[in-house]
A and B are shown apart, each in its own frame.
Chain A
Amino acid sequence: MILPGFRDAAPVDGLIGGGLIGLAAAVMLLGLGRIAGVSGIAAKAAGLGGSGMGRATAFAFIIGLPLGAFLVTLASGGLEQSFAGPVPLIIAGVIVGVGTRLGSGCTSGHGVCGMSRLSARSIVATLVFMATGIATVALMNATGWEALS
């Protein structure tokens, strides 16, 4: 399906993907009583604080992420996606690591789990990281810094 005015948009894929993410977060909440916040779970899996769940549980969740991506790649016959070069990846990775620990969450924990229960902290955090993300992309475009190859 094509969204009028946005030639690259994939709204149906987006809704299906979002539904699966919501289902995954619901399994974590109703099954294990935990927030499916990837940054916190990753920190726990790596022994860097984070989520209060068991370390094996955290590790299993993180392993599932590429496994799920692999299954979709297999079913769709390969994906064409371009990633940033090593230098922007390192800069971005460090900033994301520091920011998500200080800010107690990322797109999943705050954006999906927290916002859906109307947590004030999560709503504010999501608005803030959306705003700085938008500003960063605008600034990079204005200065001609092409991060993606």
Chain B
Amino acid sequence: MTIRPLIALLAGTLFGAGLTVGGMTDPARVRGFLDLFGDWDPTLAFVMGGALVVMAIAWRFVPGMARPIFEDGFHVPTSSDLTPKLIGGAALFGIGWGIAGLCPGPGFAALAIEPLSAAIFVVAMFAGMGLVRLTER
């Protein structure tokens, strides 16, 4: 047992709180943001903007750090190729996001808001992930 799960629990809790405060756990608000050609609700642009500013600052610390505070090294993605798989996957994800107004983070966070609905979404999402896992073996 190390301290890492505790750090992750802290991060997850901050993340879930932020999603809830920002309105991302509210499917009507998320779909309102995606309803660009209707009654558009720009709130999620502010959520995205707030998160991007903080993370853009965080990335600037990385080059000057020999390693993360609680890990041996940084493990961040390095690939840069734009594959059909990336684009097709993102396209599919957007369709699912639009249908129910939920993406993975808010799906888990909503377990504390409307447990039954959120559980149905989360179980179905794991099933989808499992499908991909099966085809990749």
Contact = CB atoms under 8 A, between A and B. Distances in A.
A58 B102 CA distance: 20
A144 interface: no
Q: Which of B46, B56, B105 has the most CB of A within 10 A?
A: B105
B55 A113 contact: yes
Interface string B43-62: 11111111111111111011
B25 to A, nearest CB: 6
Contacts of B125: 42, 93-94, 96-97, 100
Given A112-B55, A128-B94, A94 B128 contact: yes
Given A20-B18, A31-B11, A147-B101, A60 B113 contact: no
Instruction: Say whether chain A's binding surface is mostly helix, strand, loop, or mixed.
Output: helix
Given A83-B114, A97-B127, A136-B99, A19 B89 contact: no
A10 B41 CA distance: 9
Nearest to A42: B104
Contacts of A112: 48, 51-52, 55
Contacts, number: 521
Indicate the size class of the contact surface on chain A: 35 or more
Interface in B60-100: 61-62, 65, 67-77, 79-82, 85-100
B93 A64 contact: no
B122 to A, nearest CB: 7
A22 B21 contact: no
B105 A65 contact: yes
A11 to B, nearest CB: 5
B98 A25 contact: no
Contact of A98 (B36, B65, B98, B131): B131
9 contacts: A10-B46, A13-B21, A18-B46, A19-B54, A30-B61, A50-B129, A68-B19, A73-B113, A90-B124
Interface of A: 3, 6, 8-36, 38-39, 42-43, 46, 48-50, 52-54, 56-73, 79, 81-84, 86, 88-104, 106-108, 110-117, 119-121, 124-126, 128-138, 140-141, 147-148
